[in-house]
Structure 1
Amino acid sequence: MSKLSAIDIVIVMLYLAAMMVVGIYFSRKRRTSDQFTKASGKIPAWAIGLSIYATFLSSNTFIGVPGKAFGGNWNAFVFSLSLPLAGWVATKYFVPFYRKVGGVSAYSHLEHRFGAWARTYAVVCFLLTQLARMGSIFFGIALALQALTGFSMASIMLVTGICIVFYTVLGGIEAVIWTEVVQAIVKTAGAIVIIMLVISDISGGFSSVIKIGLRDSKFNLGGFDPDFTQSTFWVVLLYGFFMNLNNFGMDQNYVQRYHTAGSTREASTSVWMSVWMYVPISFIFFLIGTCLYAYYQINPDAIHMVRMQVASEKLGNHATALQVTKLAFALKPADLGDKIIPHFIVTKIPSGLMGIIIAAILSAAMSTISSGMNASATVFTIDIYKRYFNHKLTDKTQLKILYISTVCFGLAGMSVGISMIGVKSLLDTWWQLSGVFAGGVLGLFLLGMISRSAGNFAAITATCIGILVILWITLSPMLPQNSVIPVSALHTNMAVIIGTLTIFLVGILLSSFQKSKIKNTAQAVSDI
């Protein structure tokens, strides 16, 4: 860590040591699989709320959001504006539902409603989503720390992953939640420190940021026309609402936390606490991106190294210096997005404060990854291993499977992160992957929850159609122009929206048709 001072290294090491201590402390208290997955329902609401907030506030937010605002505008902030509405639906319907059902898995009730296929489908989608999420977060943290340490991105992911696996395996969900409480505070402080440093370094201060931002339409939330082919205000709002509904309603990371609370009311309180904390901090991260844009507009020479780095990566090792320089000056702000925060940290943040910022970036990644590891291990153990391989698991054996699967999912997440090296936009990549994997599950869940008459045939047919629709919207734009398959004109963020509605509406129509057919048949028999 030649680029870091001794005090920065000490701060980072103390932070990592504190996370390890939390895992060791809770390993002494945990004795059963119930404590590993639900903490025996003894976590206070405020701690669960901070934990959910920390899960939202990942390195995708810390690195990707400022990069998105720097390279474009505030269109993606509309995603955060959808959170209160999704939170209202969650506290009114989802939290009471899961507390009543009682099982720690978010997907076991789907088997009771539609059969084993529905449960398995939801579990597979969740695990794929988690791998995509953990991979993108591993990539985000490596992207930032590579600029600070000079180490390779793969080695950064490996070291960070080992630390996360250590305390997650030892302490279970209780260690995950309490480390996330610390991490929520650290990364919030880090965001505030960054924005204060950026504004203090801008000639003219905050007024210059506003002036430049308004001049270049950086505060634009997107068009308000009913156009679903572009990333308009309405497309992002609908996408955010459906994705946050999926998070609160079908994501094991969140559902599992509902069971760690002492009551339904406390679980609902934790949801609202996370909502009202995340929306303003999301605003701050978008503001950081705009402030950085204003800073580099006033100081264009300061961004030269970032331009050269990106140009070099695009052209490869065989490019000449002239080619790299020529491309560097042709790059647009959108091409530099995810590199901006790491560059500013390296060049502008003083010793001592840099250690705090690195700890904040680490915490942004570690909270979501540890949560994903624990949730994935829980789902695998209960919904796959116990369901299909050993119905009569002893608690000791179940705990052992939870340990092993936690480690395996951690290693798998690291592998996905390594495979993402070179992607253009961290936030866009995560949004696209999560939309594909999560789209069908929410529609199936809503069909089972709202329609009492929908049966197995209607559900499986609707799900198959919904999956095809999601794949068509997402993948058809990649087909050649002369393809026999028509290309979707919809924005790819519409995949989760259209897919969810397709499954729900087709299921309703099929169940109504079946109900009408049965009624007509019964009437005909009665007439005879």
Structure 2
Amino acid sequence: MSSQLRWDGALEAAAPFADEECKPQISYFQWPDYVVLALMLLVSTGIGIFYGIKDRRQKASTDDILVGGRKMATFPMAMSLLASFMSAVTLLGNPAEMYNYGTQFVMVGIAYIITTPITAYVFMPVYHRLGLTSAYEYLEMRFNKWVRLIGCVIFTLHMITYMPIVVYAPALALNQVTGLNTWAAVSIIFVVCIFYTSLGGIKAVIWTDTFQVLMMFAGMMAVVFKGTADVGGFDFVWQKTEESGRAEFFNMNFDPRERHSFWAMTVGGSFLWVSTYAANQAQIQRFLTVRTEKQAVRAIWINCFGLVALLLVCCWGGLVMYAYYFECDPLISGKVKASDQLLPLFVMDTMGSLPGMPGLFTAGIFSGALSTVSTGLSALAAITLKDFLVGAFKMELKDSRQASLAKWISLVYGIICFGIVFLVAQIGGVLQAALSVHGMVGGPILGLFSLGILIPWVNWKGAFTGGIVGLIFVGWMGFGAQIEAALGHVNFPKKPLSIAGCNCTVGELPPPFPPGYPDIFPLYAVSYMWYTPIGWFVTTLIAIAVSWVTKFNDPREMDKRLFSPVLIAIMDKLPLSWQEKVNWPSKLAKKEGRENDGFEFQAESDKVQNSQDERTHKL
């Protein structure tokens, strides 16, 4: 998910330095490639049919459709976590990042590792113990329905704009290098994805994700191994990486305007990925598909290893690309029009003569798009059903009716997103602004969840105000930066490129970017990697301030299960006098002989929780 959030690189126009002799080279697919691609799509469709028939025979409940009956196995759930936001744009964007800017981005792997224990031990236990279906049910239990509604609306708008992009962008890149028809590819992805998601529910999504992760790895590994061998081996690739200055891991510049520094990747990246895994319906919904917390913890750690492995494979692929094209850059020579087309071009150049291999690579790219869209559709179905229809509109629906509606909702959202693709195709450079929304919305949403789970004194007025202010502030920053970029005021220097070995006349290299940072309003020049921590900080600060003015919550009147077990353990070990000052109830409750340990159930929490307890008891 990460490298596609760049301000530049994915959709830039072809360089003006190429002569007419340097035409884009298109190597068309052969029939074995179509066979491999078709087999991947057939397997995905077959999984949906299997679970659709199974659910019909067993009269699947709402829990079966939305959270797999809470009895999925650990490994497929872990693979589904991995697939959810490892989109096709990521598979194309990470190698292009290495090719253009060097290896600093690899340090985001540290952020993956930091994110894992925070998600597994601080946030996930709360969701699992409450037996939620929608993550935003928690916000109503902890605050009220208005805070819940903020989270639902933001997530819904985010996903229906993000999903069309992660399908259209790679389809366009593949078309301009392989000749694969863009609209045929987009249509096939949406039709197949809508079919198996709406038919088989979350079970089909998880198992197709598992299969598609294997396809992603297979496609990328084939490219990396074949490419490394073709250019002269590991040593040659690394030699060219060092000679060009691309080997950069510890840029310790603290300036937030530095696009990718060690701090931006590790600190900013940690906030970004915690918001993705610990405060996002798409991932939380998967935590709830397994029976026990231990299973969820194991799955989260497996996912971490998978993330790091896929990151390293994709990034090494980018360095191999540079070693292959180091004497004739395809962008400057006009062979491709955008950085995201570099990897497809490389695949066709190195494996185009091997029957089925370009098809395997493309199947991996399609798998990334399918997994992201199916994740979004299942998450949107859960939110629409539980948060809007049952939650906001108070519709009383039988379980069988909810189960049926969940499938129809997936279908409707799929059609809507498919329609938005046609709009996406018309707005060009705005795509990068839309992709940056991940960082913009992640901070405020993470702020709401962390306020609820870790700061029990914050009230609903503070959370509501903080969420709105945080979203407006970071949105102003992000979109201001995108406008400046669209006007050509924001550029980032690329690592050295060469055209000395080109067989055609390409003119001269473009002039180097001027040193220093863009001469624009300072907040617009801040790296996109800092959007999430800034949004989180503003949300948290405003929430605490407003809660203080409007009177802090009394934790003694709240449900203990709403707080992180880590917070409870820390607070219970504080001296009694400190607990008294902050109204922490644990030891005070025992001292006064109260059996419920000092926690009283909120009336609204009770109403939502009772239905969750009944479901969990049946399992």
Band of TM-score, shorter chain: 0.7 to 0.9
Q: Residues 432 and 492 of structure 1 are in contact (CA less than 8 Å); yes or no, is this contact kept in structure 2?
A: yes
For the aligned residue pairs, the C-alpha RMSD in angstroms reads 2.7
- Alignment deviations for residues 429-485 of structure 1 (CA, whole Å, 9 cap, x no partner): 56512112322111111112122121122222222321232123213343799xx99
Measure how far apart 1:383 and its partner are.
Answer: 0.7
Q: Residues 78 and 240 of structure 1 are in contact (CA less than 8 Å); yes or no, is this contact kept in structure 2?
A: no
Q: Please tell me the residue identity of whatever aligns with 2:312.
A: F
Q: Distance in 1 between matches of 2:553 and 2:233?
A: 70
Q: Distance in 2 between matches of 1:90 and 1:490?
A: 27
Match of 2:252 in 1: 224
Q: 1:488-499 counterparts in 2 under 5 A?
A: 488-499=524-535
Match of 1:389 in 2: 393
Q: Distance in 2 between matches of 1:517 and 1:195?
A: 55
Q: Distance in 2 between matches of 1:486 and 1:198?
A: 41
Q: 1:270-349 counterparts in 2 under 5 A?
A: 270-298=299-327, 300=328, 303=330, 307-310=334-337, 336-349=338-351
Q: Distance in 2 between matches of 1:425 and 1:342?
A: 23
Q: Residues 4 and 148 of structure 1 are in contact (CA less than 8 Å); yes or no, is this contact kept in structure 2?
A: no
Q: Distance in 1 between matches of 2:527 and 2:29?
A: 43
TM-score (norm 2): 0.74
Q: Residues 136 and 420 of structure 1 are in contact (CA less than 8 Å); yes or no, is this contact kept in structure 2?
A: yes
Q: Residues 145 and 392 of structure 2 are in contact (CA less than 8 Å); yes or no, is this contact kept in structure 1?
A: no
Q: Does 2:189 correspond to 1:164?
A: no
Q: Residues 54 and 364 of structure 1 are in contact (CA less than 8 Å); yes or no, is this contact kept in structure 2?
A: yes
- Alignment deviations for residues 164-190 of structure 1 (CA, whole Å, 9 cap, x no partner): 111111110000111111111111111
Q: Residues 137 and 417 of structure 1 are in contact (CA less than 8 Å); yes or no, is this contact kept in structure 2?
A: no
Q: Distance in 2 between matches of 1:496 and 1:95?
A: 20
Q: Please tell me the residue identity of whatever aligns with 1:408.
A: V
Find the partner of 2:119 among 71, 76, 90.
90
Q: Please tell me the residue identity of whatever aligns with 1:289.
A: G
Match of 1:44 in 2: 73
Change over 3 Å in CA distance of 1:344–1:110 after alignment to 2:
same
Q: Distance in 1 between matches of 2:439 and 2:157?
A: 11
Q: Distance in 2 between matches of 1:424 and 1:294?
A: 29
Q: Residues 441 and 471 of structure 2 are in contact (CA less than 8 Å); yes or no, is this contact kept in structure 1?
A: no
Q: Distance in 1 between matches of 2:423 and 2:100?
A: 24
Q: Please tell me the residue identity of whatever aligns with 1:214.
A: E
Mean Cα deviation higher: 415-424 or 284-293: 415-424
Q: Distance in 1 between matches of 2:298 and 2:139?
A: 26
Q: 1:132-171 counterparts in 2 under 5 A?
A: 132-147=161-176, 150-171=179-200
Q: Aligned residue pairs: how many?
A: 488
Q: Residues 432 and 493 of structure 1 are in contact (CA less than 8 Å); yes or no, is this contact kept in structure 2?
A: no
Q: Does 2:474 correspond to 1:470?
A: yes
Q: 1:104-503 counterparts in 2 under 5 A?
A: 104-147=133-176, 150-202=179-231, 204-221=232-249, 223-231=251-259, 232-298=261-327, 300=328, 303=330, 307-310=334-337, 336-349=338-351, 350-421=354-425, 423=428, 431-477=435-481, 478=483, 488-503=524-539
Q: Please tell me the residue identity of whatever aligns with 2:348.
A: V
Q: Please tell me the residue identity of whatever aligns with 1:218.
A: R
1:227 alignment partner, SS class = coil
Q: Distance in 2 between matches of 1:185 and 1:173?
A: 19
Measure how far apart 1:513 and its partner are.
Answer: 4.2
Q: Distance in 2 between matches of 1:77 and 1:358?
A: 24
Measure how far apart 1:339 and its partner are.
Answer: 1.0
Q: Distance in 2 between matches of 1:424 and 1:283?
A: 29
Measure how far apart 1:308 and its partner are.
Answer: 4.7
Match of 1:324 in 2: none
- Alignment deviations for residues 240-261 of structure 1 (CA, whole Å, 9 cap, x no partner): 1112111221111111111111
Q: Please tell me the residue identity of whatever aligns with 1:220.
A: E
Q: Distance in 1 between matches of 2:398 and 2:141?
A: 23
Q: Residues 443 and 504 of structure 1 are in contact (CA less than 8 Å); yes or no, is this contact kept in structure 2?
A: yes
Q: Does 2:10 correspond to 1:8?
A: no
Q: Residues 123 and 453 of structure 2 are in contact (CA less than 8 Å); yes or no, is this contact kept in structure 1?
A: no
Change over 3 Å in CA distance of 1:340–1:489 after alignment to 2:
closer
Q: Residues 67 and 289 of structure 2 are in contact (CA less than 8 Å); yes or no, is this contact kept in structure 1?
A: yes
Q: 1:7-86 counterparts in 2 under 5 A?
A: 7-30=32-55, 31-86=60-115
Measure how far apart 1:264 and its partner are.
Answer: 0.6
Q: Distance in 1 between matches of 2:106 and 2:161?
A: 21
Unaligned runs of 5+ in 2: 1-25, 490-519, 555-619
1:100 alignment partner, SS class = helix
Q: Distance in 2 between matches of 1:265 and 1:476?
A: 44
2:528 alignment partner, SS class = coil
- Alignment deviations for residues 129-162 of structure 1 (CA, whole Å, 9 cap, x no partner): 2224312320243134314653542332112110
Q: Residues 331 and 339 of structure 2 are in contact (CA less than 8 Å); yes or no, is this contact kept in structure 1?
A: no
Q: Distance in 1 between matches of 2:309 and 2:553?
A: 52
Unaligned runs of 5+ in 1: 311-335, 519-528
Find the partner of 2:540 among 504, 510, 517.
504
1:181 alignment partner, SS class = helix
Q: Identical aligned pairs, as a percentage?
A: 25
Q: Distance in 1 between matches of 2:521 and 2:233?
A: 53
Q: Distance in 1 between matches of 2:178 and 2:324?
A: 24
Q: Please tell me the residue identity of whatever aligns with 2:534.
A: I
Q: Distance in 1 between matches of 2:332 and 2:38?
A: 29
Q: Residues 138 and 413 of structure 1 are in contact (CA less than 8 Å); yes or no, is this contact kept in structure 2?
A: no
Q: Distance in 2 between matches of 1:10 and 1:259?
A: 36
